[in-house]
Amino acid sequence: MADLFSILSQASWSLGTQRDAAATASQNIANASTPGYARQEANIESLPGVQYGPAFIGQGATLASVTQIRDRFIESQIPGATGAQASSTAQSDALSSVSALDPSAASGLSSSLAAIYAGLRGLSAAPGDAALRGQAVSSAQALASSFKSTVSQLQSARSGLDSQVQGNLAEVNQLAQSLAAFNGQIRAARASGAQPNDLLDARLRVRDRLVELTGGTPLDDQGGDTQLTLAGGATLVSGNRAATLSTQPDPSNEGHAQLVLKGLDGSPAKALRSGAVGGAIGGALAARDGALATSEAGVDQLAFNFAAQVNAVHQSGYALDGTTGHALFDAGATAAGAASRLTVTAAVLANPSLFAAASSAATVPGDGANLLALIGTEDAAMASGSSAGAALSTLTAQFGSAAQSAKAMSAQDSALRSHLDTLRESASGVSIDEETVKLTQAQRAFEAVSKVVSTADGMLQSLFAIT
Amino acid sequence: MRVTDMMTYSNAMASSGRARDNVDAASEETSSGLRLVHPGDDPGAAGQVVAHSLSKSRLTAIVSGATAAGDELRTADGALQTVNNAIQRAQELAVQMSNDTLNAAGRSAGAAEIGNLLQEVVSVMNTKQGNRYLFGGNLDDKPPFDPSGAYSGDAGVRRIEVAPGVTQAVSIRADIAIKGVGGGVDVLATMQKLQTALQANDTSGVQGTIDALSKSNDQVSLARTGAGVSMNALDATVAAGTIARDGETKQISHLQDADVVDSTTKLALAQHALEASLSASAQSFKFSLMDFIK
């Protein structure tokens, strides 16, 4: 037979349980807009009954646990999607911010290439005319400057990505340290028997940002630690230790930054191959060493081939003073770096009468036969097999399609990412309506249990009144 | 599906953000009139724009070169017409002076007129356009004829490009037209011979030049016919080049310019979508259990 005092003590226990339920709902409501927060659920259990004679009478309700509601299947897909999206977005942003190859840019390569041939055609009206010669030579120099500025825009975009990556690395190293620290704290909390839900959420946020930056693969091991492995197989975080990423200049890549990993085990720092890191960092590096590097090399090659082609014709012509063998352009000996070196030779620049328009020393100044041959180079194939205009056209289209496909990839990856985010949010997000219902439910239960207390109290009063 | 508050808000944010992005892109396109700015906007078109721009610039240069060459030929033709007139006057004089009724004084006056005509011919054959002497061949930096009628130019013919890879002669060879190189008559020498005969009161000598003068006239006329053919060809080049250049301009515009109707329609559509997205977001924020619990 249950006594009245046990009803009172059981009611006070149950009041506490309902308070816990209200507190859980309140925690959920408070974190309704915290990124990465997974809603928590207060699991209330009935206390086992006590035998009174032939019957068992329950002892009220208690809070068994507070658990997070998570959909592991969806959550396991999020890191991959996050890394891919960060990578393609970084790549797309890098490429679409470069305007060096815009087809209609004033003083761009295409308008300067058109201008040099217009200058040559203008000169063919009067090959001996000093003013027209000066104009033809300065249009050649303008083309050289345009090559220079195009390639320097591409180069500065590439070095800009170097600094972006270096900035990201500082954040990555800090995040890797805190992920390792969370692993340690969570392990310690679990050892003392607690379920550290909020630490788990914080660790998840750090992990997600790390994945976004590096594209690494997280793995929750059996000990409850989150490991993070980079795409190249190197471990960034394991247990409570984190590796360090830094950069060093890569001589084989024009001195651009190369990633270096100082491992967990204290082994010497090792250079990572390209593609070993994904995410935003990998995307920036892919743009730097992909479409931007290809375009830079293409512009260099175009400058080199164009200079060689024009020089071959120019050198066979005769200057106003009857001399021959003058080169018009100086692009250096190799294609690499040719665009930034390209210039009209100092002699011709200083003295436009050295421009070789004539086909023989006897026919100066009126002979424009070599000039016509120079004009003819506009359609003639260079060493690369296509004319300068066609090569520029191809270069522009190639860069354009790299930028376009990066943009399309980024849109697709973002859509996938936001779809997964929605699914995750659907499982783990906080619904304020739902929490309000739960809060009201706890409130009503609390009121009802209070009623039990006052009823039991009334019963005791009646007993006391008898005596 | 369980819909949470965060979903409602982030959906509202994402969809109104996307709609704003579209409005921005559409208004950019409408205000700039360009649909192709970055090569990534349309890679194929970007490559073609480069090719068409080069071609357009080439046609522009060809048209202006051909126009200038045509003007120059007209000047040269005008000079040769003066020569024609001078020869015809010399012919008249030769016929007139070979008449026995004239005396030595009359012939001497005729010789003086021929002298003036010779000077006129030499001076128009030294016609200059810009810094170039039109009748000097390649050696166009100094007067090709000296007062004695000696020619110091060469046999060079100036050619200009009239179509990609096609060149055309745009100068008259004075060594053939005036000096009779290649079996013709030396116009100036013939006139000088007439002048000498007139001064010497040599009627038969005067008569002897009539045939050569007639040949001279034909020779200069032939050169002018050649110039006329070249001028016609250049006019045709200018006409064809202008049409082709306008065609290239149209092509470039097709490739990179926005269609005004299309872009304003897109802008209106994007604005409607933004409005709809904002109003839907505002609606979805309205309902919460909070408002019903007292």
Cβ–Cβ gap B138/A363 under 8 Å:
yes
pTM of the model: 0.83
DSSP A251: G
**Mean pLDDT taken over chain B:** 91
- Cis geometry, peptide bond prior to residue A352 (ω within 30 degrees of 0): no
Q: Please choose, from the candidates A309, A316, A297, the residue with its C-alpha nearest in 3D space to the C-alpha of residue A387.
A: A309
Residues with Cβ within 8 Å of residue A294, at least 6 apart in sequence:
A398, A399, A402
B62 CB neighbours in chain A (<8 A) are 121
The answer on pLDDT for A31 being more than 70 is yes
The per-residue pLDDT for A299 is 95
The per-residue pLDDT for A1 is 53
Q: What is the pLDDT of residues A399-449, one digit of tens each?
A: 999 999 999 999 999 999 999 999 999 999 999 999 999 999 999 999 999
Looking up tokens 């409501």 gives: A29
The per-residue pLDDT for B75 is 94
The answer on pLDDT for A55 being more than 90 is no
A107 at the B interface (CB within 8 A)? no
Sign of CA dihedral B242, B243, B245, B246: positive
Instruction: Please calculate the CA angle A163-A166-A171 and round it to the nearest 5 degrees.
Output: 130
User: Is this complex's ipTM strictly greater than 0.90?
Assistant: no
B49 CB neighbours in chain A (<8 A) are 103-104, 110, 396
Number of Cβ within a 10 Å radius of residue A76: 12
- CA dist B292 → A33, A436, A437, A448, B21 (Å): 22, 11, 11, 22, 36
Nearest CA to CA, how far is A96 from chain B (Å)? 7
Residue % of chain A over a pLDDT of 70: 99
Nearest CA to CA, how far is B78 from chain A (Å)? 19
- Which helix or strand (DSSP H or E) is residue B67 part of? helix B43-97
Cβ–Cβ gap A366/B60 under 8 Å:
no
Q: Could you give the CA distance from residue A32 to residue A438 in angstroms, rounded to a whole number? A: 14
Q: Which of B18, B138, B159, B173 to mutate to test the interface with A (most CBs of A within 10 A)?
A: B138
Number of Cβ within a 10 Å radius of residue A391: 22
Q: Which residue has the higher pLDDT, A302 or B285?
A: A302
A111 at the B interface (CB within 8 A)? yes
A79 at the B interface (CB within 8 A)? no
The answer on pLDDT for B109 being more than 80 is yes
A375 CB neighbours in chain B (<8 A) are 161
Q: Which of B4, B34, B286 to mutate to test the interface with A (most CBs of A within 10 A)?
A: B4
Rg (C-alpha) for chain A, rounded Å, is 37
Q: What is the pLDDT of residues B274-294, one digit of tens each?
A: 999 999 989 888 888 888 877
Decide if A142 contacts A135 (C-beta within 8 A). Answer: no
Of A102-106, A115-119, B199-203, the range with the lowest mean pLDDT is: A102-106
Measured between CA atoms, the residue of chain A closest to residue B167 is: A372
Cβ–Cβ gap B43/A397 under 8 Å:
yes
Decide if B236 contacts B182 (C-beta within 8 A). Answer: no
In three-state secondary structure terms, B129 is: strand
Pick from A358, A389, A429: which is nearest to B4 by CB? A429
Q: What is the pLDDT of residues B132-184, one digit of tens each?
A: 899 999 998 899 999 998 999 999 898 998 888 888 999 999 999 999 998 89
The per-residue pLDDT for B22 is 92
The per-residue pLDDT for A302 is 96
B120-124 average pLDDT score: 94
The per-residue pLDDT for A2 is 67
A441 at the B interface (CB within 8 A)? no
A101-115 average pLDDT score: 88
Cβ–Cβ gap B289/A118 under 8 Å:
no
Decide if A50 contacts A178 (C-beta within 8 A). Answer: no
Residue % of chain A over a pLDDT of 90: 73
Own/partner contacts of A196-200, CB < 8 Å, gap of 24 or more, are A197/A38, A197/A40, A197/A66, A197/A67, A197/A68, A200/A68
Pick from B38, B154, B159: which is nearest to A96 by CB? B38
Q: Could you give the CA distance from residue B22 to residue B16 in angstroms, rounded to a whole number? A: 10
Own/partner contacts of B268-272, CB < 8 Å, gap of 24 or more, are B269/B26, B270/B19, B270/B22, B270/B23, B270/B25, B270/B26, B270/B27, B271/B23
The per-residue pLDDT for B242 is 94
The DSSP-derived string for A73-93 is HHHHHHHHHHHHHHHHHHHHH
Pick from B41, B48, B65: which is nearest to A124 by CB? B65
Q: Could you give the CA distance from residue A14 to residue A438 in angstroms, rounded to a whole number? A: 16
Looking up tokens 């190369």 gives: A258
Cβ–Cβ gap B7/A375 under 8 Å:
no
Number of Cβ within a 10 Å radius of residue A251: 9
Number of Cβ within a 10 Å radius of residue A325: 11
A430 at the B interface (CB within 8 A)? yes
The per-residue pLDDT for B85 is 95
A12-38 average pLDDT score: 91
The per-residue pLDDT for B261 is 92
The per-residue pLDDT for A293 is 95
